[in-house]
Structure 1
Amino acid sequence: MNGSNITNDHFSLKSVCHEEAIIFRNNDSSLGSSLWGQDVYYKYQIKDAAELNKIYNATGGASWIKRQNWPVNSAITFSYSYSEGINYVRGDTLLISYPPPQKDTGIIQLRVQEIHLNQNNLTGALPSLQLDSLKVAEFSLNAIASIGNLQAPKLERLSIGGNPITQLPVFNLASLKQLYASGCQISGSLVQWNTPALEVLNLGYNKLSALSAGLNYPKLKYVDLSGNVITGQLPFWNTPKLEYLHLGSNQLTSVSGELNYAHLYYFNIGNNQIAGNVPDWNFPAIKELTAYNNQFTGSLPAFDFPLIEYFDFYNNMLTGPIPDYSWPELLYFDLSNNQISGPMPDLYAPKLKNYNLYNNQLTGDLENLDFPDLEGLNLANNKLNGTIQTEFDFPKLTVFLMQNNSLKGPMPYTYLPEVTHFNLFFNELTGTFPDAEMTKLVELRMWNNKFDSLPDLASGAPDLWELSCYNNKLQFDDLLPKRT
């Protein structure tokens, strides 16, 4: 044991530091085995009581929803009371030794390790605090208007989201790993803090307006800045471990082509104002890339995304043909509402569930639909003017939209047992409409084609409520149930 002795004829005082962390919860003041044997009385002192009471006094503690055992007692007592929302760790222990026959006294100093005061009606300003053992501080969903300087060298998680805070201090928190401050009113620019251990940064849905270039957070993995008013360019940061980057619903106008993050699996820049060509990003770990509602132009690069599952560039101004991607893990592919031309791509995606090329300028044959797990298919509002060169063998498909094209010729083999909505109006399809075993069909819209016969839809699809088939070559008998 380390420490110093102060002695005279009556007593000695030894200060001993115990490193092991013992958390006290729910009025449990058990320490297990005796530190010095049978002849020691134990007392307690909450060393950080004054700092805790600063929080209570500055944030309207008398009006807190949960305030059991607040204010915190700073006196030396034979037992201590657990204050609502506070967890302690054993810090220094003072041993006051007396000559026999008296028993020695051990004063166990309790230090604050966790503060949990979420949703507790805290108001006003959170004061400056010095809490040397604090690791977790949670003040979310209150009415705190500002935050003072925090001196907490061991603090790892700080949660202040859902407060009307307008500005953050320049944090100097060497151990901070997680900062949650979404849903506040924080404005200005995201700047460099002295938080070298930072891994998670959530400042979504604030009023941030700018991003500083060259931010250096070497351990940062998760960034959520969505729902702000950030303008200008998304710059390059030194964040080599970045895995998650969400900047959706801002006002960004450009994005750096240097964002080559080896570990990035989620990248969302949807609902911004980003213009220009799509950069040829190198994201070998990417699983979800979302860039809808922007102003991207030009052709898509031939991305090499072997792990991609979700790819969304809906509602841009993309042109040119779609590359023949080979993405074996792809589940969702949406390029609708663009100006893409050329033929149907030869997309290798055996797990694809949703395929949306609605409202583009695709031409040629309808082909390359080898997707056995497909659940939604939208090819409507294109300029497909060839024939159907693929089978419609989709046992899981529920919605099939291919209207407003100029497809010609007969329908292929069709098997759609789960389909509920099937639209193919405004084409030039001919011959017999196939018996596709559409027993769950609710809506079939096929007007303005050249079909000359129908299967027994009236009895084969009991939930059918709309069959629109005018401007074909059908007879009235084609609409009646077939007699057995």
Structure 2
Amino acid sequence: MIDSELFIVRAFIFLTVCCFTLFVGAQVTHPSEVGALKVIRSRLTDPKKNLDSWNEGDPCVKKWKGVLCPNTTSSDGYLHVRELQLLNMNLSGSLAPELGKLSQLQILDFMWNQIGGSIPKEIGDIKTLRLLLLNGNQLSGSLPEELGYLPNLTRIQIDENQISGPLPMSFANLNKTKHFHMNNNSISGQIPPELSRLPSLLHFLLDNNNLSGYLPPGFSQLPNLLIMQVDNNNFSGTTIPATYGSMKKLLKLSLRNCGLLGTIPDFSGIPELGYLDLSGNQLDGPIPTKKLSLNITTIDFSNNKLNGSIPETFSGLPFLQKLSLANNSLTGSVPSAIWENATLTRNQSLILDFGGNSLTNISRVVSPPANVTIVLQGNPLCLNPNQQNITQFCGASAGEQPSGTSVNATTICGCPVQDGYEINTKDPRQCYCAAPIRVGYRLKSPGIWDFVPYREAFEKYMTAGLTFEIHQLTIESFVWEEGPRLGMYLKFFPGNGSMFNSSEILHLRSAFAEWLIPDSDIFGPYEFLNFTLREPYDDGIFTTSKSGTSKGALAGIIIGTFAGAFILCAIVSIIIVRRRYTGLNAASRKRQTSRIRMKIDGVKSFTFSEMALATNTFSDSSQVGVGGYGKVYKGILANGSVVAIKRAEEGSLQGSKEFFTEIEMLSRLHHRNLVSLVGYCDEQDEQMLVYEFMPNGTLRDHLSGKGKDAPSFSMRLRIALGSARGILYLHTEADPPIFHRDIKATNILLDSKFVAKVADFGLSRLAPVPENSGVVPGHVSTVVKGTPGYLDPEYFLTHKLTDKSDVYSLGVVFLELLTGMHPISHGKNIVREVNVANQSGMMFSVIDKRMGPYPPECVEKFMALALRCCEDETDSRPSMAEVVRELDNIWAITPADDVVPTAAAKRTPRQTTSASSSLVHSTLYTSTDVSGSDLLSGVVPNIAPR
């Protein structure tokens, strides 16, 4: 650009800035805070560069994903930053000590990012701070003592980080703090008894840490404590203080898997108690006989050493949803009054799990209502021929917490052909189309076991807190997660018109992000996970603060600014267009050439219109799944091919370079046991991946009973072998090798012939490359990613990812195949449960009963291999090549107990099982999906672990 052009452009920028300065008025952010904000921003890595659009001198900038709002005027005449909210923006980097210079800050919100490093002690200097929200990051180190001297702090959330070290005793000074949410960290040591003097404490959530010592008896004196949840800690050798039975306001007490000894205190004196979980401890003695609160929904005393009989006082509890006394040493009769006196409505259910005790009979004839589930398996009464009508209860399982997805009612009208509009079927105005807003939401400590009967109550609670009409809310889906916690996707429709306006959007976001919705006794505290705006909403700046400029002056400034800008733009355009026109065609050709380079052999580039046509404009009826990346649709291409289309949500979009890098990597993976990439779409701010469609769904679907028939042992072994071969290909024959990092039952798909194919490489990492010395490192150092229950414990602790990390995850899948269980369910870990059963000689007691007959020798070998894969120490696990080799050996001795559902199955002889096997078939076969030809090389490579 020549000097005259540069001068004109600079003049234009200068004039625009001057006009904007007049527009915002005389007041500006305090200079020291402007400098602090620049440092804070520099320490954070923002992949989408959202932070670059923030001008620290602006009076107030609000975005739907981020809020920087200096709207507190102090005596010095400056505006001070009051809110710093950077929720769910995929930020990494670290927190700068300069945060302490934001002296008027009230809300510090960095939830659900990837920020590492430690929590700066300087945050303790912000005496105005009300909300400290750092949960869902990768923060490490210990908690600064200085945080205990924040006089106005009402909520501290640091859960789901990697915080270690003890709880500071200074926290006893937080007299206004109501919510302590520190679960899912590595906090260790004793709970400071000094916390017993906190006058405002409502919710104390420290589950899934490394706490030890004893439970402070003084907690019974906390005047307002509603929820105490400290599951999965290590209070070994200590007892539950008897004083906990006198917590007058307590709603929920959860002490699951804490190593506690002694007897169960009398909790009958807690008038509103709704949830009591003491499972997985070493409690002994009899169950207290006094009746618990009539509000109780959940009682879980399972997996202890309780003895004596089952009290009849468990009957007549009107809201009871689950009573579990399983795996104790209870004797005597099962009191039938517990279910005979139950008064259940149509959508209520009751689980009564008495399995694994020494119960000998039932007090009266068994005739429970249809919505009552009774489990008696593992008791002597199941072997008593005199007990009538109990066979159906001797093989039952307690079941899982019910989850569900809302389905819109059928309607004959349609919405405009415009993205983002839907029919609100709950609206009394029939066929009313509007653009909803979606909110990711999670109940952190609900006081119920089954959400279904409370669904309507939840809708009333939520809409009342937002001052909405009940028809404006739809629960799109809900699912129970580890904790147990209840995750939801909520969909809110505008009350008037077809769209929310900007002030309504900010009101809705603030209500969740600032916890303006009152807590509920039943539903407990909640988490705000994300706030999703799709078309037709604009991801832009919704509001700016008002200046003191008069309307007339403001109008003049605006008109003058636009006039000046127009004139300058015209001058600049004439000069630049004249000089640049000759190079336009060349630049266009260059861009087109660049685009052509993105074309990848064997992978088709689809247009957005092709994707919309294939999925009926991404209709709900085409949707077949949803994950962290976005929704998955079944699509039919113009050539008739059926495909699966993964459409990225707003927050999942990658940069163009990263997106095409992933596609290029996927295009090089070719193996019959890996899901094939068909193509992609990258236009109109949309990113989609198109895969071959897998009509038989996920492995988890079939293990959970969603398939038509439960898979037999032979079929499960074939699935295991196919999955292992796919992973072995990634480790040894992909170029370069790849570590999957997220192997789980929902990522193993089954095609029309039930051939297993590994899918979802979103978290995959390339294997280490040789160093300058030529030595290949044994691991990749990386941030821990994966799915709880499947994560390699050594990878979790060291952040060192190896091929053996995939071996561990696949071992968990093998255990799922054998048992049908989830990796984590009701606080129980599948690896630990199967290990305990195996070591006690009860291995066959955990085998999935839906599997049908199976050869014991083969099952034993498969179980032994699975447990070797799940060893804590990396070196004790087999390599993936050894896994495939051992599965091949087991397959060779497995009898042909079923017909493989594939026309490609070859009827060729296979070695019969040994005489010890209980199944022998005369017709034997080998299926093509487990032959050695599946690997590109045709053989299982004999390699050392990477």
Same-fold status (TM-score > 0.5): yes
For 1:129 and 1:389, the matched residues in 2 are separated by 69
For 1:308 and 1:413, the matched residues in 2 are separated by 37
Q: Determine if the alignment matches structure 1 residue 265 to structure 2 residue 202.
A: yes
Q: Determine if the alignment matches structure 1 residue 164 to structure 2 residue 92.
A: yes
Q: One-letter code of the match for 2:199? A: A
Question: Given that residues 392 and 414 in structure 1 are in contact (C-alpha distance below 8 angstroms), is that contact kept between their aligned partners in structure 2?
Answer: no
The residue number in structure 1 matching 2:300 is: 356
Q: One-letter code of the match for 2:328? A: N
The residue number in structure 2 matching 1:478 is: none
- Spell out, residue by residue over 1:344-366, the C-alpha distance to the aligned partner (whole angstroms, 9 max, x if none): 12352211111111111110010
Q: In structure 2, the residue corresponding to 1:385 is in which secondary structure?
A: strand
Q: In structure 2, the residue corresponding to 1:249 is in which secondary structure?
A: coil
Q: CA deviation at 1:231?
A: 1.5
Alignment counterpart, residue 117 of structure 2, candidates 168, 187, 191: 187
The verdict on how the C-alpha distance between 1:179 and 1:467 changes in structure 2, with shifts beyond 3 A counting, is closer
Q: Determine if the alignment matches structure 1 residue 122 to structure 2 residue 49.
A: yes
Question: Given that residues 358 and 380 in structure 2 are in contact (C-alpha distance below 8 angstroms), is that contact kept between their aligned partners in structure 1?
Answer: yes
For 1:78 and 1:307, the matched residues in 2 are separated by 55
The verdict on how the C-alpha distance between 1:128 and 1:78 changes in structure 2, with shifts beyond 3 A counting, is closer
Flag the structure with larger Rg: 1
Q: CA deviation at 1:416?
A: 3.8
Q: Determine if the alignment matches structure 1 residue 423 to structure 2 residue 375.
A: yes
Q: CA deviation at 1:402?
A: 0.5
Q: One-letter code of the match for 2:121? A: V
- Spell out, residue by residue over 1:234-259, the C-alpha distance to the aligned partner (whole angstroms, 9 max, x if none): 12322101101111111111221111
Q: One-letter code of the match for 1:188? A: S
Alignment counterpart, residue 330 of structure 1, candidates 245, 259, 273: 273
Q: Determine if the alignment matches structure 1 residue 446 to structure 2 residue 391.
A: no
Q: CA deviation at 1:140?
A: 4.8
Q: Determine if the alignment matches structure 1 residue 369 to structure 2 residue 314.
A: yes
- In the TM superposition, 1:203-214 aligns within 5 A as 203-204=134-135, 205-213=137-145
The residue number in structure 1 matching 2:127 is: 196
The residue number in structure 1 matching 2:159 is: 226
For 2:17 and 2:63, the matched residues in 1 are separated by 22
Name structure 1 gaps, 5 residues minimum: 1-69, 81-87, 93-108, 143-150, 436-442, 449-464, 469-484
Q: In structure 1, the residue corresponding to 2:125 is in which secondary structure?
A: coil
The verdict on how the C-alpha distance between 1:168 and 1:78 changes in structure 2, with shifts beyond 3 A counting, is closer
Q: One-letter code of the match for 2:279? A: S
For 1:77 and 1:140, the matched residues in 2 are separated by 24
The verdict on how the C-alpha distance between 1:323 and 1:156 changes in structure 2, with shifts beyond 3 A counting, is same
The residue number in structure 2 matching 1:307 is: 249
Number of aligned residue pairs: give it.
338
The residue number in structure 1 matching 2:174 is: 239
Q: One-letter code of the match for 1:265? A: L
- Spell out, residue by residue over 1:149-185, the C-alpha distance to the aligned partner (whole angstroms, 9 max, x if none): xx97532211124311313233222321110012232
The residue number in structure 1 matching 2:358 is: 406
The verdict on how the C-alpha distance between 1:139 and 1:426 changes in structure 2, with shifts beyond 3 A counting, is closer
Q: Percent identity?
A: 21
Indicate the RMSD between aligned Cα atoms, in angstroms.
4.0
For 2:199 and 2:303, the matched residues in 1 are separated by 34
Q: One-letter code of the match for 2:212? A: A
Q: One-letter code of the match for 2:97? A: P
Alignment counterpart, residue 382 of structure 1, candidates 328, 341, 348: 328
Q: In structure 1, the residue corresponding to 2:193 is in which secondary structure?
A: coil
The residue number in structure 2 matching 1:341 is: 284
Name structure 2 gaps, 5 residues minimum: 1-12, 31-36, 68-76, 397-709, 711-847, 851-946
Q: Which has the higher helix share?
A: 2
Q: In structure 2, the residue corresponding to 1:407 is in which secondary structure?
A: strand
Q: CA deviation at 1:384?
A: 0.5
TM-score by length of 2: 0.32
For 1:152 and 1:158, the matched residues in 2 are separated by 17
Q: One-letter code of the match for 1:227? A: E
Q: In structure 2, the residue corresponding to 1:73 is in which secondary structure?
A: helix
For 1:432 and 1:467, the matched residues in 2 are separated by 23
The verdict on how the C-alpha distance between 1:191 and 1:415 changes in structure 2, with shifts beyond 3 A counting, is farther
Question: Given that residues 392 and 415 in structure 1 are in contact (C-alpha distance below 8 angstroms), is that contact kept between their aligned partners in structure 2?
Answer: no
Question: Given that residues 365 and 385 in structure 1 are in contact (C-alpha distance below 8 angstroms), is that contact kept between their aligned partners in structure 2?
Answer: yes
